[in-house]
Structures are given as structure tokens and as C-alpha cells.
Amino acid sequence: MNSVYYDVPGYKDVIIQEIRNGSIIVNHVVLVEIKYKLDLNILNQYNQMLERVRHLLEQLKTNKCTSAANPLCVDGKSITVTQIPPPSEEELCLDRVPKGNENFYDPVLFPDGLACVSHCDPYSPKHLSCNDGTCQVKSRSVPQCFCARTDLYIYTSLQCTGKISKLGLLIGSGFAIGILFIISIILGIYIYIVRKSMPKPFLTEDLYITTMI
């Protein structure tokens, strides 16, 4: 059978599924390789290959079964071609990603072929930017950002933005606390001085004089 299909574009092999007696009915699958490319539609390529296979089988109908030069012949009534369309880009991609993470990968066409990329990849239409960190997709988990040097910095967002130095924050907090402490001391001294400088209030008593006659 290889001699029949060898010039089909992308031809790889033939798998014989069943051989039946009588006029020798051969059920077989023709394996072809189709490349996913930006400038080539996958279905158009498949249809061209399918038509080529049909054409080759039609040619076999003209061969005489008694001819030694052409031992292969086909009864025209027995030719049946079953189409097996190629998987879509999404199906091909999902078939290759870890189970449970299918929602976090996308098929992307490049000039040299199809790639299945995660949402961490810059080429993904749903790219998760992690800025100063790195993006990872763990098993059965949404993509996450892991920020750099968390031992030295605090980040104000989950996407590693708003980097704040822990040392600077510590020094700044200590400085602010020190300023507040000094202000409280000064304010206390001021209140004490003001109270000391205030005049004492006069105390009055009612005098009762009793006159005896």
C-alpha cells in the first residue's frame, strides 16, 4: 500500500485494519502529517490530501487485475473513503497539557508551527504579567506570580508591583515613631509650663459678725 500513497503530500504510513477474503477487502488508514502554519489553513491542506487519496484510488480502477506490472486493482463499487478531520488547534493543545490545567493554556500559531502556551507565556492572549516576579502554572492551580526577593521587599499587588524595601520601611517606621515620641514629650513639657505659669485663683470667704447689745 505504500507504493500507492507515497506521493501524497505529508504521507507517513498506512495502517492495515482488516483484510477480508473474497476479492480481498482491505480496510486501512492513511496517515499523513499536516503542519499548522500561519499562512496555511489546516482544513484546506487536509482536503487537498483527501482529494489526492481519492484520485490515486480512482487510478487503481483502471488497472487490469491480470497485469503483472500493476498487481493492485480496485473494484469501483467497493471504494469507500471515510474522512477523519484533523483536530482543531484548541483540541490539539488541550490534548497535550496536564489534566486539570486545560483552562490555563492557549494554542498560538507561529511561522514555523503550532505551540501550546500557558497564560504565563508572553505570547498568550491571556498573558499574566508578573513584572519583577516570575509566573508559574502549578498542577490544578491558576497561574500565580512569585515575586523576587520577598525577604527584602514587600509588594503591594499580586502581580509584583509597588515594591517597598522592608529595611526602608523599618527605618521609616522607626523614624516616624521617634518623631511622634519627641513631639509628645515637647507637648507634655509645654502643657506643664503653661499650667505652672497660670495665676492661682482667689479664695473668698463670707464673714459673719455677730454684735451683742
Mean pLDDT is lowest, of 22-26, 57-61, 159-163, 208-212, for 208-212
Q: Compute CA 99 distance to the chain's CA centroid, rounded to the nearest angstrom.
A: 14
Lowest mean pLDDT segment, chosen from 105-119, 139-153, 169-183 = 169-183
Taking only the tens place, the pLDDT of each residue in 50-85 is 888 888 887 777 555 555 555 566 665 667 788 888
Residue 209 has pLDDT above 50, yes or no: no
Mean pLDDT for the chain overall: 76
Residue 188 predicted with pLDDT over 50: yes
Reported pTM: 0.56
So what's the pLDDT on residue 176? 65
Q: Which residues pair with 19 in a beta bridge?
A: 26
